[in-house]
Chains A and B, each alone.
Chain A
Amino acid sequence: MLKKKLNLWHVLLIIIILGAIFPILFMVSNSFKTLRDSYGTMLNLIPLHPTFENYSLLNKQVNLLGLTWNTFLMATMVTVGKLLTGLLTAYAFRSYQFKGKMLIYLIFVSTIFVPFTIVMIPNYLVISKLNLLNNIIGVALPQLCDATGIMIFLKTMEKIPNSLIDAAKIDNIPNRKIFFNIVVPILKPSIVSVGAIFFINSWNEYVWPTLILKDKSSFTLPLALQNYISSEGGTNFPLAMALSTIMVVLPLIIYLIFQKYILNSISNSGLK
């Protein structure tokens, strides 16, 4: 009886996974199809006449290395910025009592609730005044702090026993050292998993970069996709899928490397 139930859950979960994975297989499959076959053999998940044509064409039409590099730099800047500001801010809240703490905390947290549309136009003007249009720094700059990070770090820091930090303070260890040698290591799992998520989200970002990056040479990978969805000349679907496939390689590698951290941080803190 119990066994049967267990199996049924597995069936449900596997169906969900198939639903989630199918579009990905479809994407990869189409990236190896010719344009004609992408229409003609829609139901064949394995290409009838597999071809690398799309990839070599892509390589000719856009600067893949440059695009990847831009995307990487942008995502790195955003991730590092968010991690540092997040850790510092959370540490301040964790370790100190000061005037207006509650208010400041609330203001920080409430930034999650700011729709991007409300800051879109003014931020564009600021970035252009700073002469950072067509520059990935212009994309990264307004995104260097993130309340989600602050909240997650703070929640984890609150689990650090006071005695540990008090002991360090009694030993006259400077705050900087407490932060780097005690707090950061304890937070390592969340830093890694939050950082990985920041990086991947930033890697895939679309809306805000489209406003800042107008020059082909400054494009990130998602923006380069726009090249292939021009409806007036028709959409080249297999080419777009080839670019999409290339786009996901690094996030996938990062995920596979840090996946253990992410999963460990889950299972370590809980039950089996």
Chain B
Amino acid sequence: MKNSKLKKILLMLGIMAMAVVFAGCGKKTSASTVKHITYWHVNAQTQGGAAVDDLVKKFNDTHKNIKVTAKYNPDMYKGLMQNLQSAQASGKVPDITQVGWAYDNYFASNFKYMTPTDAAKKFDGNNKFIDGNFTKRTLSFAKDSKGKLVGLPYSLSTPVLFINKDILSKYNIKEDSLSTWEGIKEASKKIHDQSGKYGLYIQEPGDTWAQQGIMLSHGADIQKGGKAAFASDNGVGAYKYYQEMVTSKLALHTPWAQGMDSFVKGDVAMAFTTIAQASHIKKSASFNASAIAAPHFEGHKTVVPVGGSMLAITAQDSEQQKAAWEFEKWMYKADAAVTWSKGTGYLPPTKVALESSAFKDYVKENPMLDPAVKTLDNAVPWTSFPKKGLQAEQAMIDARDKILSGSDVKSTLGAAQDKINAEQK
């Protein structure tokens, strides 16, 4: 009796498995005049995923001849690039995709894409859309090492200094003393000596975006003429500052998620990180949180690399490209761009959207955004080396990790620079 029962169970499971196989094979095939395009993005539910769904739905509702399917790619721009690699290997690329700034050159030299300039010429007959919406500075973010426009800037972010006002006022620290890194050091010392808490946390993700900002704001160049140049005296000086902050326990050195948790918990007084964290901080912190513009070193001015992504058209077929271009242009309309910005915490990329009343009202409600918007004027393209860019970024990450665990700054940066330049012939 029991045996046959088990047999039946096994049989049933087998049939079920088979059914699944067949169900999977019988995929729908529908042919119609509606153009289907896929849009790849990196926006998880915690960061703009809902906004993407919202925008795509609105677009599909108002455009009967185009149907956009949005696809989320986990693990940020790195994950998206990986998926794009794999997609290329299997021949199924998306029609339009986000590309992180750091992957600018890598994308341009490895994938087939249509430049926005070509799209505008082919489908609009003029360049009005691009010139009318983007400033020269904003467009410069999306150019590859040869000066060619690869895509259109879509998400912009700048680093800001988030502050715990409760801690600062408790130890009598004035906000305007925090406009320089020197001032931050002094404040951190005060806080650390009196409370044992850390003064500062600088984000440490799988890139050196924030660290580049510190070097740039000490007058250093990250690259010069296509070659790495960050191991200059100014670059070394910036990193020496950072290293000293960490070794004297004024700054916390830990992976990004943990570091931000410590800031939100109130164990670190200041956090130098992307503006995209603003809404998370607002929702989670039990203290009075605020943001001020990215600091600089005395005698230098604030310069930060821009963060975020651009939209690039990867469709191969002309009709698909046209549909993608139409979708892309729609996404830059002021209200769409503001919806996007609200959902993600990024700054809107177009002049129109930045100056729209909808966005201005939003900034009023969320004053943390204000310094980030202002910093945009000091933003430069994120360094993306023309050759073996991913390995170059890894070399800079490695250098950061080594320095923060105590290696000599000058020789470590020098070695990283040599390693990168060996590939840039």
- Determine direct contact between A and B, CB below 8 Å: yes
Interface residues of A (CB under 8 A from B): 35-36, 38-40, 42, 61-62, 73, 76-77, 79-81, 83-84, 124-125, 128-129, 132-133, 135-137, 180-181, 184-185, 188, 191, 210-211, 214-216, 223, 226-236, 239
Sorted from nearest, which 9 A-B pairs have the closest CB atoms?
Answer: A234-B280, A233-B47, A128-B90, A230-B44, A226-B74, A185-B3, A227-B45, A80-B13, A227-B44
State the majority secondary structure of interface residues on A: helix
Question: Which one of A61, A125, A234 lies within 8 Å of B50 (CB-CB)?
Answer: A61
State the Cβ distance, B286 to closest chain A Cβ, in Å: 5
State the Cβ distance, B304 to closest chain A Cβ, in Å: 16
What residues on B are CB-neighbors of A42 within 8 Å?
265
In the complex, are the beta carbons of A233 and B71 less than 8 A apart?
no
Interface residues of B (CB under 8 A from A): 2-3, 6-7, 10, 13-14, 16-17, 20-21, 24, 44-50, 71-76, 83, 86, 89-90, 92, 205, 256-257, 260-261, 264-265, 274, 276-277, 279-281, 283-286, 344-345
What residues on A are CB-neighbors of B48 within 8 Å?
233
CA distance A165 to B48 in the complex (A): 64
CA distance A215 to B38 in the complex (A): 11
CA distance A42 to B262 in the complex (A): 12
What residues on B are CB-neighbors of A83 within 8 Å?
10
* Known contacts A39-B286, A136-B20; 5 further A-B pairs (Cβ under 8 A): A132-B24, A184-B10, A210-B74, A227-B45, A233-B280
CA distance A239 to B46 in the complex (A): 9
In the complex, are the beta carbons of B280 and A76 less than 8 A apart?
no
What residues on B are CB-neighbors of A62 within 8 Å?
45
Decide: A133 near B345, CB < 8 A? Known: A36-B283, A84-B14, A210-B74: no
In the complex, are the beta carbons of A39 and B285 less than 8 A apart?
yes
Decide: A184 near B7, CB < 8 A? Known: A39-B265, A233-B277: yes
Decide: A39 near B73, CB < 8 A? Known: A73-B20, A133-B90: no
List 29 interface pairs A-B (beta carbons < 8 Å), by A numbering.
Answer: A36-B285, A36-B286, A39-B261, A39-B265, A39-B284, A39-B285, A42-B265, A61-B50, A62-B45, A76-B20, A81-B17, A125-B89, A132-B24, A136-B24, A137-B21, A184-B7, A214-B71, A214-B73, A214-B83, A215-B71, A216-B71, A227-B49, A230-B47, A232-B276, A233-B44, A234-B279, A234-B280, A235-B261, A239-B46
State the Cβ distance, B12 to closest chain A Cβ, in Å: 10
In the complex, are the beta carbons of B90 and A216 less than 8 A apart?
no
Decide: A228 near B46, CB < 8 A? Known: A80-B14, A84-B14: yes
Decide: A76 near B13, CB < 8 A? Known: A61-B45, A128-B86, A184-B6: yes
In the complex, are the beta carbons of B345 and A233 less than 8 A apart?
yes
In the complex, are the beta carbons of A235 and B46 less than 8 A apart?
yes
What residues on A are CB-neighbors of B265 within 8 Å?
39, 42
In the complex, are the beta carbons of B17 and A76 less than 8 A apart?
yes
CA distance A76 to B2 in the complex (A): 22
In the complex, are the beta carbons of A234 and B260 less than 8 A apart?
yes
Question: Which one of B7, B21, B276, B281 lies within 8 Å of A180 (CB-CB)?
Answer: B7
What residues on A are CB-neighbors of B44 within 8 Å?
226-230, 233
In the complex, are the beta carbons of A236 and B46 less than 8 A apart?
yes
CA distance A77 to B48 in the complex (A): 34
CA distance A216 to B243 in the complex (A): 41
State the Cβ distance, A114 to closest chain B Cβ, in Å: 22
CA distance A181 to B14 in the complex (A): 18
What residues on B are CB-neighbors of A235 within 8 Å?
46, 257, 260-261
In the complex, are the beta carbons of A77 and B286 less than 8 A apart?
no
Decide: A129 near B90, CB < 8 A? Known: A61-B50, A137-B20, A233-B47: yes
In the complex, are the beta carbons of B46 and A227 less than 8 A apart?
yes
In the complex, are the beta carbons of B75 and A80 less than 8 A apart?
no
In the complex, are the beta carbons of B46 and A226 less than 8 A apart?
no
- Between B44, B49, B280, the greatest number of chain A beta carbons within 10 A of the residue's beta carbon is seen for B44
What residues on B are CB-neighbors of A36 within 8 Å?
283-286
CA distance A44 to B276 in the complex (A): 29
What residues on B are CB-neighbors of A223 within 8 Å?
74
CA distance A128 to B93 in the complex (A): 13
CA distance A211 to B265 in the complex (A): 35
Nearest chain-B residue to A230 (Cβ)? B44
What residues on B are CB-neighbors of A188 within 8 Å?
2-3, 6
Nearest chain-A residue to B80 (Cβ)? A214
What residues on B are CB-neighbors of A73 within 8 Å?
20
Question: Which one of A129, A184, A210, A230 lies within 8 Å of B46 (CB-CB)?
Answer: A230
CA distance A211 to B3 in the complex (A): 39
Nearest chain-B residue to A212 (Cβ)? B86
Decide: A35 near B284, CB < 8 A? Known: A128-B86, A135-B24: yes
State the Cβ distance, A36 to closest chain B Cβ, in Å: 6
CA distance A113 to B25 in the complex (A): 33
What residues on B are CB-neighbors of A77 within 8 Å?
17, 20-21
What residues on A are CB-neighbors of B286 within 8 Å?
36, 39-40
What residues on A are CB-neighbors of B46 within 8 Å?
227-228, 230, 233-236, 239
What residues on A are CB-neighbors of B47 within 8 Å?
230, 232-234
Decide: A185 near B2, CB < 8 A? Known: A61-B50, A234-B281: yes
What residues on B are CB-neighbors of A229 within 8 Å?
44, 257
What residues on B are CB-neighbors of A61 within 8 Å?
45, 49-50
- Between A40, A133, A233, the greatest number of chain B beta carbons within 10 A of the residue's beta carbon is seen for A233
Nearest chain-A residue to B277 (Cβ)? A234
State the Cβ distance, A238 to closest chain B Cβ, in Å: 10
Decide: A234 near B284, CB < 8 A? Known: A80-B13, A83-B10, A184-B6: yes
State the Cβ distance, B305 to closest chain A Cβ, in Å: 15
CA distance A139 to B102 in the complex (A): 31
Question: Which one of A133, A216, A233 lies within 8 Å of B344 (CB-CB)?
Answer: A233
What residues on B are CB-neighbors of A227 within 8 Å?
44-46, 49, 72, 74
